[in-house]
Amino acid sequence: MTQAESSAAAPHAPLPVVVVGDANVDLVLRGDVVPRFGQAEQLAESGDLVLGGSASIAAAGVARLGVPTSLVARVGADTFGTFTLDALRTCGVDVAHVETADDEPTGLSVILSTPQDRAILTVPGTIPTLTGERVTHVLDGRATGPGLVHVASYFLQPGLARALPDVLARAREQGWTTSLDTNWDPGEQWAGLDEVLPHLDLLLPNRNELRAIAGALGEPADLDDVALATRLARRGPRVVVKDGADGGWSVGTDGDVVRAPGVTVDVVDTTGAGDSFDAGYLAALAHGVPDERTRVRWATTAGSLSTLGSGGTGRQATLGELERELAP
């Protein structure tokens, strides 16, 4: 039983959530076009400069769902860094532990988005410079008791990734519930997770990431998604899977699957939908929701509603909106 679940027997104030990872800006371009070289100019339908980074989007989503949320990350001392910090504050995220670096620029992602898919180009900037030592320092210095610590964009932060087994082990010893969304590995090597999984309570991949992680760990490719998720769960964490238009599901060591549908919406932009899914699940735990299917419904509903706006935080759900969607 996780720390959050053990507190769910009686009503309580939400547990704090600390999100660790990337903070940057996204330039989201929407339109049914594919870029062409040869100086070919094409017209997109719209463009928005918005808060980016899987960790930042997840933190914003958790905060909007009524949970005290802080972010541990790094930005540059530049215009994009100021934009990122202002956007996080607007979403209700505590940025006291977001460091500003004088010698590196804030990360930037350019996203070409269609309703069905998206392509992403990222300039890492300060994203890879966050260290495990910094994360441990923040968790050790928390005045409030332990809650949930969520790590995102594992493969964009190699220094943090190397230290993560020790960081998570120490956090769990202090009573923190630990979770990880690796996101996609740009190098497609998926290395190092065998040492991380035993220290996780939750792993939150999408289906493609699930299969890539399982393959890198030597699991048979001919197994179905549930079987692969069950094998990963036996290494440590409950596996909570984002399943696109079909919603999501989770599985533990016994292979018993808990499923929940998404909400049918007219999709504007899928950027950050998986991060908002994470936010919904984490917020349910923080609020003490004891039922696993309800927790997955929080996740799928939050993920679905986020696709109604441009960028990852343009249309994230509030607690009231989510409760109305989930009402009988």
**pTM (2 decimals)?**
0.92
Average pLDDT over residues 148-169: 98
Q: What residue segments make up the domains of the chain, in order of their start?
A: 12-318
Q: Is the pLDDT of residue 115 over 90?
A: no
Q: Is the pLDDT of residue 221 over 70?
A: yes
For 278-305, letters b (16+ CB in 10 Å) and e give bbbbbbbbbbbbeebeebbbbbbbbbbb
Check if CATH label 3.40.50.12780 holds for domain 12-318.
Answer: no
For residues 45 and 242, which has the higher predicted lDDT (pLDDT)? Answer: 242
The one-letter amino acid at 131: T
Question: What is the 3-state composition of the chain as percent helix, strand, coil, each rounded to the nearest 5?
Answer: 40, 20, 40
Instruction: Identify the pLDDT of residue 227.
Output: 97
Average pLDDT over residues 170-185: 97
Neighbours of 254 (CB within 10 A): 9
pLDDT digits (tens, 9 = 90+) for 1-46: 344 333 333 347 899 999 999 999 999 898 888 888 999 898 988 8
pLDDT digits (tens, 9 = 90+) for 47-105: 989 999 999 999 999 999 999 999 999 999 999 999 999 999 999 999 999 999 999 99
The one-letter amino acid at 213: I
Average pLDDT over residues 205-216: 98
Q: What percent of the chain has pLDDT over 70?
A: 96
Measured distance CA(49)–CA(36) in Å, rounded: 22
- Residue pair 79/60 in contact by the 8 Å Cβ criterion: no
